[in-house]
Structure 1
Amino acid sequence: MAGGFAPPKLAEFILTERLGSGTYATVYKAYRKKDTREVVAVKVVGKKGLNKASVENLLTEIEILKTVRHPHIVQLKDFQWDSENIYLILEFCSGGDLSRFIRSRRLLPERVARSFLQQLACALQFLHERNISHLDLKPQNILLNGGLLKLAEALFGRPPFASRSYTELEEKIRSDKPIEIRPSPHVSRECRDLLLRLLDRDPETRISFDEFFTHPFVDLEHMPSAGSLGRATTLVLEAVQKDQAGEHSGALSLYCRALEHFVPAIHYEADAQRKEALRSKVKQYVSRAEELKALVASGNKVSFEQDKSARDILKEMSRDRPRLHAALEVASAAVAQEEEGEDGSGTLDLYQQSLGELLLMLAAEPQGRRRDLLHSEIKSLMSRAEYLKEQLKMREAQTEATMDREPLSESVRSSCCVQ
């Protein structure tokens, strides 16, 4: 087995620097000797170190990589062997592995980690649908092409059970102490929820594959892809029709939904001119959405006053129900914050907190005047929460559309390159 010495010889390739090594294999950067001088990675597995199980694992790996074709899974181009070694000729990923990337940067912005996670989830979903398990998913086995990244608690610069010894690590994993994610202003509520559900020690209650793929933080629907522009265009045409018909609220909602696809379309587009044209279009749609927002807000003022009166009556009727009364107070606080111009994620959290409680109260409330008022209040709060959520997404789209995020359009490749 070639380890730290001179790389082995291959008829069609020149093996150069060593990229990494594991228990059974060493990976080298190599050049094809033909005119193309194609750059590849060659995984060299020494036959002497293989037992029966290792051989079976290697054959399984080769068989899977021969049949799997996906933009976020490393491609097996060929495999060869001689009397000493087996050689896997793999796609070369210029950014090295994720472990090195995290060490060099310590912390990653959430938007970067989310983009990475979408690509990883896309690859995992592809494998899951074909009944394939990776079985060794870790930062060292995630290769980067163009400098992209992974959420391996990448957000905090350390793994969730960081330990100084295997004994300490085992104790932390076996402990009944709840997982804690330290407060951080750059970690959103959706990201925090996903992390806690992934780190649940109980496999019965831990997030399932299907739940993971549909989690709002993973949000595969809005991952940059070839279909992003088509989905955005369809929605914006509907928005324009509603706009022309004077249906301001419906048009605003459709513009916001379209922007959620336009931003990934910008990141996916490789041509600089087309990318700039898309940015220009997005700015126009954001501008119109802002105008519609003002029109809708103006039209909502009367209904907001009516809602306030109904809410005050409902609070008076609920003084004998402390939990219901408290939830209505939270709702009032959310409305007050929004009307004072504090239309951020904190206000949305208040809306969602109050709605969670009020829906439980509604299920237990007997028929009568109070139940009717409560039902109307929930509908009103849901409408306001959805409206606020759209404004936050529009603001995010406006910010992201003008940011230079070119590295995020590169591919992240999931691989078993080093065993």
Structure 2
Amino acid sequence: MATAPSVPRVEGYSLAEKLGSGSYADVYKGYKKGGKEVVAVKCVVKNKLSKTALNNLISEIEILKSLCHTNIVKLKDFCWDDTHVFIIMEYCGGGMKKFAKDFCNSLCWLFFIYEKRILAIFDLKPQNILIASKKLQILKIADFGLAQYITDDDKNSVLKGSPLYMAPEIVLKRQYDARADIWSVGIILYECLFGKAPYSSKSFDELFSKIKANKPIEIPSNANISNECRNFLKGCLQRELSKRFDFNSFFDHPFVDLAHAPSSDSINKATEHLTKAIEDDKLGNCKEALQSYDEALKYLIPMMHSEVDSLKRMSLRKKINEYINRMETIKSQVSGES
């Protein structure tokens, strides 16, 4: 009778339940000994590592060490023994991200972390998009094993990523660049909106045939989505690289709303709009007040979602609800007068 594989031992940590498995690694929930800190431990089996897999592992560690961002799973430590390499990371207990608009905004804001260098991930898929916790709804990107920094001049032709979410130029082994990630964003957004990826298939052969067929992806004509969302999907899901969004078009698109991404200046901008809203509200300028309240909320809501302090987040939510209720009251007054 076959016995279940034993849980690896990591110095300084106790491993609990398994969170997931890959081709050469398992991920466990773990606890730091002598404290209450919860972590995720990626246990990589050394003898399963090909040269390519080893390079991917080294790349992942180097990238995680160099990045510090709210939307990236934090690397806490790494170590090894005779049989395993252990990557100790921030634990994200909220599961996978499911809501399309917030997902898209968070992911696009993450892409914007470097002004002159683009971090090409090459393996964007729902399984690698997590939420910090059930209470803290912050998106976290995990697994940078295939990621690399590339410039506009860099081209690749090596197969990278998960086939269902890969850009056609990668699957068909043509030259590709960082815009392959834009295709992946479009595919994941499509799946969030319509329940399955556009090339969903029962086998790789079927998937490859659909990709090779060179048919454009159809967005359901009766879909209950905004024109902005529809236009954004079309721009991301252009099969021809020359017709797909470049990163300037991607970031500038109104669906992404990069202008309202959480920043150190968000509270000042929100306060400016709120001050005007309250003044117009007192003067009975209903239309202007509604517009200013709405602009303030565009800054406050992303701030609330990204706030890590639970008390501050609760305070922000309370204020946001107050402003929303005030807007509804103004709308009722306007309707009654008309």
What TM-score, normalized to structure 1?
A: 0.59
Aligned partner of 2:59: which letter? T
1:136 partnered with 2:123:
yes
Within a 5 Å distance, the mapping from 1:278-297 to structure 2 comes to 278-284=320-326, 287-288=329-330
Give, as a single letter, the amino acid of the residue that structure 2 aligns with 1:81: W
Map of 1:37 onto structure 2:
36
In structure 2, distance between residues paired with 1:63 and 1:213: 26
**Partner deviation per Cα, 1:379-412 (whole Å, 9 max, x = no partner):** xxxxxxxxxxxxxxxxxxxxxxxxxxxxxxxxxx
Q: 1:276 aligns with which of 318, 327, 333?
A: 318
The reply to whether residue 199 of structure 1 matches residue 198 of structure 2 is no
> C-alpha displacement at 1:26, in angstroms?
1.4
Q: 2:247 aligns with which of 171, 196, 209?
A: 209
Cα deviations across residues 169-188 of structure 1 (Å, max 9, x unaligned)? Answer: 12211223232112345322
| C-alpha spacing 1:10/1:257, structure 2 compared with 1 (3 Å) | closer
- In the alignment, structure 2 segments of 5+ residues that lack a partner are 140-187
Residue matched to 1:399? none
* Residues 139-288 of structure 1 aligned to structure 2 (within 5 Å): 139-147=126-134, 151=189, 153-223=191-261, 227-240=265-278, 253-265=291-303, 267=305, 270-271=310-311, 272-273=314-315, 275-284=317-326, 287-288=329-330
- Superposed displacement of residue 24, structure 1: 2.0
Question: When you count helix as a share of all residues, which structure comes out higher?
Answer: 1
Distance 1:286-1:221 versus aligned 2 partners, 3 A rule = farther
Q: Which residue of 2 aligns with 1:64?
A: 63
* CA offsets 1:245-273 (integer angstroms, 9 cap, x no match): 89776555434423433444555564335
1:127 touches 1:133 (CA, 8 Å); kept in 2? Answer: no
Distance 2:193 2:7 in 1: 37
The percentage of aligned residue pairs carrying the same residue is 40
Cα drift, residue 229 of structure 1: 3.6
2:36 aligned with 1:11, yes or no?
Answer: no
RMSD: 3.2
Instruction: Give the match's secondary structure for 2:193.
Output: coil
CA distance in 1, matches of 2:58, 2:106: 26
Instruction: Give the corresponding residue for 2:153.
Output: none
> For residues 268 and 165 of structure 1, do their structure 2 counterparts lie closer, same or farther at Cα, with a shift above 3 Å needed?
closer
Verify the 8 A CA contact 2:19 2:29 in the aligned structure 1.
Answer: yes
Distance 1:251 1:280, change over 3 A: closer
How much has 1:151 moved relative to structure 2? Answer: 3.0
CA 1:26–1:266 in 2, change beyond 3 Å: closer, same or farther? closer
In terms of mean alpha carbon deviation, does 24-33 or 228-237 score higher?
228-237
Matching residue's letter, 2:108: A
- Which amino acid in 1 is paired with 2:189? L
Higher mean C-alpha deviation, range 270-279 or range 212-221: 270-279
Q: Which residue of 1 aligns with 2:113?
A: 126
CA distance, structure 1, for counterparts of residue 239 and residue 4 of structure 2: 39
Contact map agreement 1:15 1:28 (CA 8 A) in 2: yes
Deviations 1:174-229 (A, max 9, x none): 22323211234532222122112211100001011222222222213334666544
Describe the SS at the equivalent of 1:155.
Answer: helix
Distance in 2 separating the partners of 1:128 and 1:163: 37
Report the structure number with the largest CA radius of gyration. Answer: 1
SS in 2 for 1:169: helix
Structure 1 unpaired stretches of 5+? 99-107, 299-419
The number of equivalent residue pairs is 281
Distance in 2, Cα, partners of 1:238 & 1:129: 36
- Give the CA deviation at 1:94: 1.0
Residue identity in the other structure for 2:130: L
Q: Distance in 2 between matches of 1:51 and 1:250?
A: 63
- Aligned with 1:172: secondary structure? helix
One-letter amino acid matched to 2:51 = K
SS at match of 2:214: coil
State the secondary structure of the residue aligned to 1:182. coil
Choose between structure 1 and 2 for higher RCO, CA contacts under 8 A separated by at least 6 residues: 1
Give 2:250's aligned amino acid: F
Q: Quick one: structure 1 residues 134 and 17, their matched pair in 2 at CA, closer, same or farther if it must change by over 3 Å? A: same
1:151 aligned counterpart, secondary structure: helix
Label 1:208 to 1:24 Cα distance change in 2 as closer, same or farther (>3 A): same
Cα distance in 2 for residues equivalent to 1:258 and 1:13: 45
Q: How many Å apart are 1:278 and its aligned residue?
A: 4.0
| Larger strand proportion of the pair | 2
Displacement of 1:234:
0.6
CA distance in 1, matches of 2:263, 2:194: 28
Q: Is the 2:73–2:90 contact (alpha carbons within 8 Å) kept by the matching residues of 1?
A: yes
8 A contact 2:216–2:239 mirrored in 1:
no
